[in-house]
Structure 1
Amino acid sequence: MRNIFVHIIWVLLAITITSLLFSGCTNRMSLEEIHSKTEEYFSDELQKKHIHNAFLTIYSPSKEIDWTFSGGHFADGREVTASNPFYTASIGKTFTATAIALLVDQQKLSFNDPINMYLPDSVMLNLHHFKGIDYSHEITIAHLLQHTSGLPDYFEDSTIDGSTNVMELLFSNPDKYWYPTETIEFAKTKMKPLFKPGTDYHYTDTEYVLLGLIIEKVSSTALHHFFREHFFIPLNMKYSYMLYRSKAINQTAMLSEIFVGDNEVSGMKSLSADWAGGGLVSTGADLIRFQETLFSGKIVKGNTLAAMQQWIPETYGMEYGYGLRRIVFKELFPILPDLTLIGHSGITGSFMYYCPEIDVYLSGTLNQTDEVKESVKLLVKILVLLNKN
């Protein structure tokens, strides 16, 4: 997810939640009441002009909650249901980071390894020149995972010559299929690094493409096969796959439509530019299965999972680990409950989060880039309710 979560969004969020807290929802509520109110919130999202379909799954083993909400229609009038998978966007970063963590547990690499140990000279050449110094060989895997390498973002950063970035090229050339090395070459030739590795934070998909290449090198298998063999098959994620690169284990319903404003973009082959940083398609149930298994320590070891949760500041009320984001409610606004969300969001309004304080998992999407902040507001409102149970 890009630089969407700025201070003004959290101010708007605080206003919304403050209104909720001082409304009739201040008393304790039954799960039936919370379900009804959540369904109302979800329906409100679907009524918005730019939201054509939406998904929300809420799961809590301790509270015995397993709720799924879906709605909307395809452009041809067919109804959208929970069986239709959705594009997860940057949620895919959590899968890529977990793949790296799994290789750490297998002692095939280390978080602090320099990336030149695993990447060819063709990728490393001129990768990171900053103020006349070549820092390419100082970049570590940890830098890539935590967005602290200083590398530019091929998607949204400005080019040195004022030409279009890859995000703009997605729409001007929708039929282009992007290979991972093409996006790296674009960042190297069209953009400049922002800072010396390890000295600052800058969210960039370029880093996660490099991580994908490292996974492929170390495991001797394509990234989409690695996901299938280590996540999708063992976790029974039957409806998850990499867009334009693989198929789901089971026959899967049509991909729900993605919107950028008024434009429906789910059929653009140029979405292939979003690879290890977010090319995953899944369902709410599959994502929650992955989350629960990860946070219960069944995918990677406990100390490895703890390493993934070494937080650094990202923006107001938010921190970033290794492919994981943490949202701290009380840092957003002091009167909010003492809750946190750990997981990831995507530019399409997608989300995959776990709230450890009340043992609640949430996943879904609004499938609309114009409504990203609304997806986060929706999650916070729901958790405020669940905290009353």
Structure 2
Amino acid sequence: MFLIAAGISAIALGGAGAYALSRAARTSRQPLNPDEAAAHLDAYFSKAFRVGKRQTSLQVLIDSPVLSYRHTAGSLTAAGGAPVTDNQPFHAASIGKTFTATLIMMLAERGDLTLDSCIAEYLPAETLSSLFVWDGKDHAREVTIRQLLGHRSGVADYFEGPVREQPSFQTRVIENPDELWTPEKLLDFSRHNQRAVAAPGARFHYSDTGYILLGLLLERVTSVSLGTLLRREILAPLGMNDTYLLFDRDAPIPPDEPPLQDIWLDGVEISRFRSLSCDWAGGGLATTPEDLIRFQKGLSGGALIRAESLSEMERCAHKFRNGIHYGLGMMEIRFEGFFPLLRGMPRLKGHIGVLATHMFRDPATDTYVVMNFGSTDAMVPSFRALFHIMQTLQRIRLGQT
């Protein structure tokens, strides 16, 4: 997730960005009522979309005790420029990792697996072959499910990791739009074109490859496809009727399904590319803002897993980059890591995606936020927007004291 890391680092840099955050921190002392806050956010997001680069849509949904807010802007290339609707489906990107992790926790609660079991107990040797070779030794039989969930297995990252031979994976996705990526092909990319980065447990290294292995493990344990498992265990119980796994083997997308919002990867719009099959268990969901709110409420409210399992997912002990820590398929945002004057801001639980997609919850105030900027070039603006939302909610609470 180097694109995300680069964007986050840019937020924390000095100069104009630091000045803007410092000024925003001072402004946070000025109270707002809910109507004023909504108008303030409308002006903020209208400007953010107007000046955004390589971005053709924007969705924001806030569900908080002090404010219910929605902002939608943009158009759909796939629909001839038709406007984006409030609940238009979009590519969730790595937000999907939280769904995969939740399925693992559900199976662990049922006794179908244990987090500290070695993945070699569930997956055949040919699936793991050459993926965990470090310092001349194959560590495949040492890797645990917990290490895959927490990105500490040592396996490479096919999506953004370095490759032995060019082109990079992302370039291949763009230059070969008709290529269908199966889970096996994704593993082969890492197997033949990358190297492991460490021995299991030695370091944190964000890896989409690891989540492909988790998806295969889920299928092996349950004897059903990942798409079927998602529908049966999460989507149907929570009423997430507008969410589905892209390129699901068992459920092709109906022809009348609304088109995805535009997806800008390195300046190329790829929403209709077959090569978009490159995410799968690492983030291959199409979803909507309302459905992601349903998921967060179901997850935090005990509809899917027990409170102790959620606490384990949210125990973010490993630093990803300044401002972001990682647990098991879950991120924690620590704003003070971006800029010291932001100390005291709430710590948010959830996940982000490389397309500047956000799904976060503030446990202290029962607040839920979903955003989709739909572009790898929008990561910095999306994080500034997340801060701006939380600051605005604080200003409403200030006005109510």
TM-score of Structure 1 vs Structure 2, range by shorter chain = over 0.9
Q: Which residue of 1 aligns with 2:206?
A: 203
Query: Is residue 239–residue 283 contact of structure 1 (8 Å, CA) maintained in 2?
Result: yes
Cα distance in 2 for partners of 1:135, 1:79 equals: 51
Q: Distance in 1 between matches of 2:99 and 2:70?
A: 22
Please say if 1:118 is aligned against 2:125: no
Letter in 2 for 1:219: T
Tell me the CA shift for residue 3 of structure 1: 4.6
In the alignment, is the contact (CA less than 8 A) between 1:239 and 1:252 conserved in 2? no
| SS across alignment from 2:181 | coil
* CA deviations over 1:344-366 (Å, ceiling 9, x no partner): 11111111011122221001211
Aligned partner of 1:386 in structure 2 is 393
Question: CA separation in 2, counterparts of 1:159 and 1:361?
Answer: 38
Query: Could you tell me which residue of structure 2 aligns to residue 103 of structure 1?
Result: 107
Q: Provide runs of 4+ in structure 1 moved above 6 Å.
A: 248-251
Q: Secondary structure at the match of 1:213?
A: helix
Partner residue in 2 for 1:70 = 72
Distance (whole Å) between structure 1 residues aligned to residue 290 and residue 50 of structure 2 = 24
1:83 shift after superposition? 3.0
State whether residues 348 and 369 of structure 1, in contact with CA within 8 Å, keep that contact through their aligned partners in structure 2: yes
1:353 and 2:367 aligned: no
8 Å contact 1:150–1:197 — kept in the other structure? yes
Q: 1:345 to 1:296 in 2, by over 3 A?
A: same
Report what 1:4 is aligned to: 4
Name the counterpart of 2:399. Answer: none
Report deviation, 1:22: 2.7
Paired residue secondary structure (2:298): helix
* More helix, by proportion: 2
2:341 corresponds to 1:335: yes
**Which residue is 1:21 aligned to?**
25
**How many Å separate the matches in 2 of 1:277 and 1:204?**
9
Structure 2 unaligned residues grouped into runs of 5+: 397-401
Q: Which amino acid aligns with 1:112?
A: D
The answer on whether the counterparts of 1:309 and 1:324 sit within 8 Å (CA) in structure 2 is yes
Encode CA deviations 1:120-167: one digit per residue, 9 max, x unaligned: 12112222111111111101001100111111111122222x232322
CA RMSD of aligned residues (A): 1.8
Q: What is the SS of the residue equivalent to 1:225?
A: helix
Report the equivalent of 1:293.
298
Q: Secondary structure at the match of 1:313?
A: strand
More divergent stretch after superposition (232-241 vs 353-362): 353-362
What is the rounded CA distance, in whole Å, between the counterparts of 1:261 and 1:270 in structure 2?
14
User: Are the structure 2 counterparts of residues 103 and 33 from structure 1 closer, same or farther at C-alpha, using a change threshold of 3 Å?
Assistant: same
Q: Is 1:178 aligned to 2:181, yes or no?
A: yes
Q: Which amino acid aligns with 1:26?
A: R
Are 2:313 and 1:308 aligned?
Answer: yes
Change (3 A) 1:15 1:223: farther
Return the offset for 1:250: 12
- TM-score, normalised to structure 1, is 0.94
Offset at residue 340 of structure 1 (A): 0.9
Q: Secondary structure at the match of 1:276?
A: helix
Given that residues 159 and 191 in structure 1 are in contact (C-alpha distance below 8 angstroms), is that contact kept between their aligned partners in structure 2?
yes
Correspondence for 2:370: 363
1:42-97 CA distance string (max 9 Å, x none): 1112202422111011002x33x332211111232211111311011010001000
TM normalised by structure 2 equals 0.92
Query: Identity over aligned residues, as a percent?
Result: 32
- 1:21 Cα deviation from its structure 2 partner: 2.5
Q: Compared with structure 1, are the counterparts of its residues 167 and 261 closer, same or farther at alpha carbon in structure 2 (3 Å cutoff)?
A: closer
Following TM superposition, by how much is the alpha carbon of 1:334 offset from its aligned partner in structure 2, in angstroms? 2.8
Once the two structures are TM-superposed, the CA of residue 320 in structure 1 deviates from its matched residue by 0.3
Provide the C-alpha distance between the structure 2 equivalents of 1:183 and 1:28, rounded to a whole number of angstroms: 50
Query: 1:84 and 2:88 equivalent?
Result: yes
Give the conservation status (yes or no) of the 8 Å contact 1:10–1:332: yes
Instruction: Give the total of aligned pairs.
Output: 385
Deviation at 1:248, TM superposition (A): 7.4
Q: Distance between the aligned counterparts of 2:201 and 2:266, measured in 1?
A: 36
Q: 1:34: which partner in 2?
A: 37
Q: Per-residue CA shift, 1:226-264, capped at 9, x if unaligned? A: 111111111000100111224679964221111135421
* Letter matched to residue 370 of structure 1: D
Q: 2:384 aligns with which of 347, 364, 377?
A: 377
Deviation at 1:14, TM superposition (A): 4.3
Contact 2:244 / 2:287 at 8 angstroms: preserved in 1? Answer: yes
* Unaligned 5+ runs, structure 1: none
Is the 8 Å Cα contact of residues 209 and 277 (structure 1) preserved in structure 2? yes
Match of 1:270 in 2: 275
Contact 1:239–1:250 (CA<8 Å) still a contact in 2?
A: no
Q: CA, structure 1 residues 14+211, in 2 after alignment: closer, same or farther (shift >3 Å)?
A: farther
CA contact (8 A) 2:247 2:253 kept: no
Q: Is the alpha carbon distance of 1:230 and 1:248 closer, same or farther for their aligned partners in structure 2, counting shifts above 3 Å?
A: farther
* Contact 2:11 2:384 (8 Å CA) reproduced: no
Q: Are the equivalent residues in 2 in contact too, given 1:93–1:278 (CA < 8 A)?
A: yes
Verify: 1:169 aligned to 2:172, yes or no: yes
Partners of 1:249 and 1:199 in 2: how far apart? Answer: 45
- Give yes or no for contact 1:92–1:280 (8 Å, CA) kept in 2: yes
The equivalent residue for 2:98 is: 94
Counterparts of 1:300 and 1:250, CA distance in 2: 34
